[in-house]
A and B are shown apart, each in its own frame.
Chain A
């Protein structure tokens, strides 16, 4: 079964701190790895995504680190803000739809002011 394992399940950080969420996948055919942010009562929103040909991608305070050999990737939120408090999902997908997209179970992030 194609799985994506996400940890931790919940995370509490102080304002200004760094939030780190990790994901691991099994199927090496996956070649697109997005992160989604979801607020209560809303649908997920794409935050940032990476492909295996790069080891890191940064957009503002959000950075994805990708380790192809270990089949792991992580989301780093720098200078975490209370407005970042949300649930974060990692996912693994494939170009052309060869495999169905698979999601991690989610991480509930709380940033204390």
Chain B
């Protein structure tokens, strides 16, 4: 069974640009969550999608957005990039609920903003 895949694995952007990251969950999983990991702030929850609906949202500015498609694949978008957005962006999927079903993480997308 294939794990969670994220594309691209590495990305370099400049300030002011926007970026879209993609996540393909484990087959059958309907919940997809996104996290930001930085040395300074650690792991922080961005948002969770379930059946194409945002179910939960972390404390990030509106520049961070996401969506989920009918096949459960998810994308997150960051507009007007700032230097502080440089981070490892992790996607995780679970069957339905992240607190009752095991949440599986992808390898992440390393975003560097210059």
With A43-B107, A45-B105 known as contacts, the answer to whether A105 contacts B42 (CB < 8 A) is: yes
Q: State how many angstroms separate the Cβ of B109 from the closest Cβ of chain A.
A: 10
Q: State how many angstroms separate the Cβ of B7 from the closest Cβ of chain A.
A: 14
Asked if B56 and A97 make an inter-chain contact with CB atoms under 8 angstroms apart, the answer reads yes
- Total CB contacts across the A-B interface at under 8 A: 50
Asked if B103 and A97 make an inter-chain contact with CB atoms under 8 angstroms apart, the answer reads no
Asked if B42 and A42 make an inter-chain contact with CB atoms under 8 angstroms apart, the answer reads no
Q: State how many angstroms separate the Cβ of B2 from the closest Cβ of chain A.
A: 14
Closest to A98 in B: B56
Which of A31, A43, A45 lies at the interface centre, i.e. has the most chain B CB atoms within 10 A of its CB?
A43
Which of B58, B98, B107, B108 lies at the interface centre, i.e. has the most chain A CB atoms within 10 A of its CB?
B98
**Interface hits, B43-87 → A, CB 8 Å:** 43-45, 48, 55-59
**Interface hits, A66-107 → B, CB 8 Å:** 89, 91, 93-97, 100-106
Closest to A102 in B: B45
Closest to A4 in B: B42
Closest to A6 in B: B42
- A41 an interface residue at 8 Å Cβ cutoff? yes
Asked if A44 and B99 make an inter-chain contact with CB atoms under 8 angstroms apart, the answer reads no
Cα A101 to Cα B45 in complex, Å, equals: 6
Binding site for B on A (CB under 8 A): 31-32, 34, 36, 41-46, 89, 91, 93-97, 100-106
List the 10 shortest-distance A-B pairs measured between CB atoms, nearest first. A43-B105, A32-B99, A103-B43, A97-B56, A105-B42, A100-B45, A100-B58, A101-B45, A44-B105, A93-B99
